[in-house]
C-alpha cells in the first residue's frame, strides 16, 4: 500500500518555492504549505494522467515532455504549455551542446592518448 505522503510533493520544497515569491518577512502557515502541496500534487497527477492516456492510445509506454505540453494545451493551460515547451526546447538544446562538447573532449583525450603512446614507442625504440 502506498502511503498518502508518498503521493505528494515534498513539503519542504513547496515551502521553499512559496517563500521565493513572498517578502522576506512573510510567514507561511503549515496549513498553507499543506494546501499548496495538495493542489500542486493534484495538478501534476491531472496533467500526467492526460498525457498517459494519450500514450496508451498511441501504444507507447513512455510519457515524454512533448506529451506533457500536449496535455497542458488540451486541458486549457495554453500559457503553461507554451512556457513549458519553450523551456523543453532550451533544455534539449543545452543537452545537445553538452553531448557535442563531451564528444569533442573524448576525441581530444583519445588523440592525446594516441600521441602519448607513439612518443613512448619512439623513446623505447631509440634506446
pLDDT at 93: 96
pLDDT at 79: 93
**How far from chain centre, in Å, is Cα 34?**
24
pLDDT at 117: 57
- Do residues 3 and 65 both lie within one domain? yes
DSSP state of 69: H
Stretch 19-43: mean pLDDT: 95
Task: Give me the domain span that covers residue 71.
Answer: 1-76
- Cα 86 to Cα 79: distance, rounded to the nearest angstrom: 11
- Do residues 9 and 62 both lie within one domain? yes
- Cα 41 to Cα 50: distance, rounded to the nearest angstrom: 14
pLDDT at 6: 74
Stretch 20-24: mean pLDDT: 94
- Do residues 60 and 101 both lie within one domain? no
Reading phi first (left if > 0) and then psi (alpha if -120 to 50, else beta), residue 29 is in beta
For the stretch 75-123, pLDDT in tens is: 999 999 999 999 999 999 999 999 999 888 888 777 777 766 555 555 5
pLDDT at 111: 74
Amino acid at each position: 500500500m502506498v502511503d498518502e505522503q508518498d503521493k505528494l510533493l515534498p513539503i519542504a520544497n513547496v515551502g521553499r518555492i512559496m517563500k521565493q515569491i513572498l517578502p522576506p518577512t512573510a510567514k507561511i502557515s503549515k496549513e498553507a504549505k499543506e494546501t499548496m502541496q495538495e493542489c500542486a500534487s493534484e495538478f501534476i497527477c491531472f496533467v500526467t494522467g492526460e498525457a498517459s492516456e494519450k500514450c496508451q492510445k498511441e501504444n507507447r509506454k513512455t510519457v515524454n515532455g512533448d506529451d506533457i505540453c500536449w496535455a497542458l494545451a488540451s486541458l486549457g493551460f495554453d500559457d503553461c504549455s507554451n512556457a513549458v515547451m519553450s523551456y523543453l526546447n532550451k533544455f534539449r538544446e543545452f543537452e545537445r551542446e553538452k553531448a557535442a562538447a563531451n564528444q569533442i573532449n573524448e576525441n581530444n583525450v583519445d588523440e592525446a592518448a594516441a600521441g602519448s603512446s607513439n612518443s613512448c614507442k619512439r623513446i623505447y625504440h631509440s634506446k
